[in-house]
Structure 1
């Protein structure tokens, strides 16, 4: 059984947060032959990376790994140019001689790779990494910008620029007043509702909710569009009052649980992923009960629901500051990147949209760093950035 400490070290390596001392520990652990199969199995399951182990060698693994990380440090600032394209979060350079894409095998030969890739072109790049920001719409219709470094405080709410907190001591007996929290492209935000429920909102999302919940009645909020992760305050703390999340064509009923809801306007499916507890998905014609590690997919065109098991880490990676692209097409990936970096991504050739990519990347990386990793697919030859428009070629 792999220890939690080793699992954390592997995760830190993939997200480029590992220190040299931690790297030393991980390297020594990998060099033990009895740990090799555990390592490969864990990486395949949790990071969607298919590693060719036939030519695996451990004698120089530590030396190569340390050399790679040291070079990665030096090149990090300069990685806007092609000469610094690395495999980093996409493959384990110190272990694999290559990795397998959905569309074929790409050998780990950097010189051969460079021959097939053109130099990226950047013109007037103004693309910034996403950050904490939101627009709060009060019950009177007025708007308040919430952003890093800006403090807001009223008799019912307070914000430090990263999260919005409602007074949990108040309940509503009169007519309920509603607020809206809108997250623009390039933003994210965290909110604590008046009942103690925690909600994390992803880019390009909007939620409607009461300033205070009416005592003794169902606690109800609406995800108007976008993606949100809910950690619901249990009904046992609210005199048995259930919690419901409304969204396009469905209602999610919960008693106290954690789940992710994804319902973007430019997608025809609504995804509900249960992490802990139990939820009931209700539509006009269907009712489905989800267990942990299950996801329901609602097709809003025909109102059908499919339930299947999923890898929770992949589905909620955005909450942990990661992009987990497990066998995702570049078209799907482009939508995610467009929301986080507030850009428009276009394809010079339609067939590029279907190319599959596997990788775990950090959300705090620049768009150039993300694109340079995607270049290693060997299907994307180059990219062009002009202001907030990216063309993949």
Structure 2
């Protein structure tokens, strides 16, 4: 079985984000014949489609590897890593690689129209956020720009609150809002780290009240929490509130997705323990389980899931397994800040597997999806993408 760490390195390798040390680790791992076989099987299952296997250019992959190693000053590793190419040449596709579950014989022979690009102003997102202070004033946080005031400092990527700051009086709250096309991190005063995805808003105290439950509110959006354990805070629990559920933890890693335009809330446990509750029920999760709260009827279900795959967005990678084209485009629309329109509603249901870097060009992504022949054409008009 492939460990979560190796899965992560493979995903980064396929999206050209692996560091020199990670490439070395992957090289050593595949020297074992059993591991190499698992690598082949894993890539074929998760990151290949029959079309791409037919059209695969092994020399192109070699070139990509050479570029990656040159960037990391690891040219000498090429000879040993060529066995990856030899055994996996029919499976590996760099960049976004999609798997469709609706392959039909002869479909790829259908003529495909040329996409129309009127004006491509769609770019990948970046580190940015709006910090709303207790007096209502707003501070714009941006990549490579620093900010410091009293007990808080930002380097343009992360907001850090003074860990020594505790309060015995009434709590004072700040808000951190991530717009479409943005992402940001925050370290709360208790040491808890939170990764915030695009179109997300978090309410939190500037300092937690000593001896009381530590409580924040995910107003909307998606956030990954690495909670400082209760043992470091005199047993104080940690809770994440949302208008439709409550998550109670003791010290753990978990992800909550609660977007306003979706009718479900997803809570995924990576490590530790959480209790998810709403007005209807309460469920305890163990690692690699996900609770789903249906906002229409309040029902809650718990399903097994690959938790690590769900949080790869915090590593700069979008990973899709069995996701519909509509779901994929919704995720990307938040990051690239565009509106998507499907001319044929049936296209929304087509399912894919794949990984893509959050730095990929949107035109490249659309072109590869188009090669599956499930979309005939796409059109970009300013900040709108029309799927045909």
Q: TM-score range by the shorter chain?
A: 0.7 to 0.9
TM-score (norm 2): 0.84
Alpha-carbon distance change, 20 to 153 in structure 1, aligned in 2, over 3 angstroms: closer
Kindly indicate whether residue 304 of structure 2 is the aligned counterpart of residue 309 of structure 1.
yes
Query: Aligned partners of 2:99 and 2:127: how far apart in 1?
Result: 36
- Equivalent in the alignment of 2:120: 125
Identify unmatched segments of 5+ residues in structure 2: 68-86
- What is the 5 A alignment of 1:82-121? 94-96=89-91, 101-105=100-104, 113=108, 116-121=111-116
Query: Is 1:274–1:295's contact at 8 Å kept on the other side of the alignment?
Result: yes
Query: Aligned partners of 1:296 and 1:311: how far apart in 2?
Result: 13
**1:300 aligned to which of 283, 292, 295:** 295
Distance apart, 1:339 and its partner CA: 0.3
Query: Aligned partners of 1:312 and 1:326: how far apart in 2?
Result: 12
- What is the 5 A alignment of 1:44-63? 47=46, 49=48
Query: Aligned partners of 1:122 and 1:244: how far apart in 2?
Result: 47
Distance apart, 1:248 and its partner CA: 2.5
3-state DSSP of counterpart to 2:314: helix
- Equivalent in the alignment of 1:230: 225
TM-score (norm 1): 0.83
3-state DSSP of counterpart to 2:276: strand
Query: Is 2:197–2:221's contact at 8 Å kept on the other side of the alignment?
Result: yes
Kindly indicate whether residue 13 of structure 2 is the aligned counterpart of residue 13 of structure 1.
yes
Query: Is 1:357–1:374's contact at 8 Å kept on the other side of the alignment?
Result: no
Query: Is 2:116–2:380's contact at 8 Å kept on the other side of the alignment?
Result: yes
Distance apart, 1:24 and its partner CA: 11
Query: Aligned partners of 2:33 and 2:197: how far apart in 1?
Result: 42
- Equivalent in the alignment of 1:41: 41
Alpha-carbon distance change, 32 to 114 in structure 1, aligned in 2, over 3 angstroms: farther
Query: Is 2:270–2:308's contact at 8 Å kept on the other side of the alignment?
Result: no
3-state DSSP of counterpart to 2:240: strand
Deviations 1:86-145 (A, max 9, x none): xxxxxx9822499962112578xxxx9586322221112111110000000000000000
CA root-mean-square deviation: 3.4
Query: Aligned partners of 1:188 and 1:156: how far apart in 2?
Result: 22
Kindly indicate whether residue 380 of structure 2 is the aligned counterpart of residue 385 of structure 1.
yes
- Equivalent in the alignment of 2:368: 373
Query: Is 2:147–2:155's contact at 8 Å kept on the other side of the alignment?
Result: yes
Tell which deviates more after alignment, 143-152 or 197-206.
Answer: 143-152
- Equivalent in the alignment of 2:76: none
Query: Is 1:134–1:188's contact at 8 Å kept on the other side of the alignment?
Result: yes
**2:266 aligned to which of 271, 280, 283:** 271
3-state DSSP of counterpart to 2:183: strand
Aligned residue pairs total: 363
- Equivalent in the alignment of 1:147: 142
Kindly indicate whether residue 58 of structure 2 is the aligned counterpart of residue 65 of structure 1.
yes
Alpha-carbon distance change, 209 to 7 in structure 1, aligned in 2, over 3 angstroms: closer
Query: Is 1:137–1:143's contact at 8 Å kept on the other side of the alignment?
Result: yes
- Equivalent in the alignment of 2:82: none
Query: Is 1:176–1:211's contact at 8 Å kept on the other side of the alignment?
Result: yes
Distance apart, 1:69 and its partner CA: 4.0
Query: Is 1:274–1:293's contact at 8 Å kept on the other side of the alignment?
Result: yes
